[in-house]
Structures are given as structure tokens and as C-alpha cells.
Homo-oligomer: A and B are copies of this chain.
Amino acid sequence: MDSSAAALLAGDLTGVAVFAASGGALGVAKRLDWFGVVFVGFAAALGGGILRDLVIDKPPVAFYDWRYGTTALVASALVFWWHARLERMRRMMLLLDAAGLALFTVTATIKALEAGVPPMGACLIGMITGIGGGLVRDLLVGEIPVVLQRDIYALAALIGAVVVAILTRLEAVTLLNMIGAGVLIFVVRLTALYRRWSAPRAKPM
């Protein structure tokens, strides 16, 4: 599975870049200095994966593999300099963010299952890794995390993680199937955005 390992790494790093950009953009909006912008970008890009690796008791790739840190650094630094341009790219950002959610959720669920976590726990780890970056990003700048308030964001991740767990149980873990699970997350998330789906709220008492 060498080519699939390479595909996963490429996907993972794309996710890192996208989340770093979203964190950096929020830092710019909050008027942080350039170090704060890069730091929030870093935390958004690598926070979910650090928690994942701690939970499955592996050395966190964020610190042990230089490609992760470098990717996060470059992406958030670029946002600092080019943020005016990014504003015009808002649609593109939402697309990339959905892609990052899909990639992180799928790779984290697979890594957790491979580390021997039972299916239900692996799905939770997959979902938390997918949404974790956005959570940390929003908490750092003092906001209630968007993921808790809006849309079908976390639910899309959970659905995809469950599909990965079922495919693994059926011993049908092929690169193609994993891409399918990622595309499912991506499509659910974008459809929810486009149709303004959103989960129900409790009625006021």
C-alpha cells in the first residue's frame, strides 16, 4: 500500500494547509500580530492531529515529521501577506475547508482503527480530529466554536467516520473506498452549506 500511503500523506498535508489558512484568516480578522496569526494557523492545522496521536499513543506527527510543521507555517504566513486576496476567494476557502474536514476525518479514523481502538471510539476520534482544528482556532480567539453552532459540519464528519469503520469491518479498506468516504463527507458538508441545512435547535421553553 505504498502508493496509498503517499496518497494519504498528500491528503493529510492538504488538510494541514487548508486549516492553517482558515486559522490564519481568523487571526488576521481579530487583528493579531503576525506571530499570533501564524500561531492560530498552526493550532488549527495541527491541534486535532496532536490530540489524535496522544489518544492512540503514537508520537505526534506535528512534532515528529517536519513536513507538517513546515506546511502549516507556510500556509498561515501566506495568509498573513495575501489575506485581501483570500477574501475574494471565500468560496474556494469553503471548498478547501470541506476537503480538509473530509481528509482529516478519514485518515484519523483509519489510524485509530489500525492502532486497535474499537470502532465506536475510532469514529469519535475521526470526528474530533476533523473538527478539532476549527474548535481550537475559535477557542484561542475567544469565540464559541462555529462547529457547535451551525450547519451539518460535525455530523458530516461522523457519517464519514462510520462509513470508514463499516468498510474496515467488511475488510473492504481500499484506497478507492477511502476516497469514497472522503467524498461523502465533502458532499454532505457542501450540500448542507448550499441548501442552508442545519440541525434543529431546542425550542425555547
Residue on B with the closest CB to A87? B205
Which residues does A use to contact B, with CB under 8 Å? 27-28, 30-37, 39-40, 50, 54-55, 57, 59-60, 62-66, 69-70, 80, 83-84, 87, 112, 117-118, 120-122, 124-125, 135, 139-145, 147-150, 152, 154-155, 198-202, 205
Q: Is B33 within 8 A of A150, CB to CB?
A: yes
CB distance from A189 to the nearest CB of B (A): 13
Residue on B with the closest CB to A33? B199
Q: Is A69 within 8 A of B124, CB to CB?
A: yes
Q: Is B205 within 8 A of A125, CB to CB?
A: no
Q: Is B201 within 8 A of A125, CB to CB?
A: no
| Chain B residues within an 8 Å CB radius of A112 | 63
| Chain B residues within an 8 Å CB radius of A59 | 55, 57, 117
Q: Per DSSP, are chain A's interface residues mostly helix, strand or loop, or mixed?
A: helix
| Chain B residues within an 8 Å CB radius of A80 | 202
Cα A141 to Cα B200 with chains together (Å): 18
CB distance from A90 to the nearest CB of B (A): 13
Cα A60 to Cα B70 with chains together (Å): 28
Q: Is B83 within 8 A of A205, CB to CB?
A: yes
Q: Is B200 within 8 A of A33, CB to CB?
A: yes
Q: Is A142 within 8 A of B140, CB to CB?
A: no
| Chain B residues within an 8 Å CB radius of A135 | 140
Q: Is A33 within 8 A of B124, CB to CB?
A: no
Q: Is A144 within 8 A of B140, CB to CB?
A: yes
| Chain B residues within an 8 Å CB radius of A30 | 144
Cα A112 to Cα B64 with chains together (Å): 10
Cα A62 to Cα B51 with chains together (Å): 13
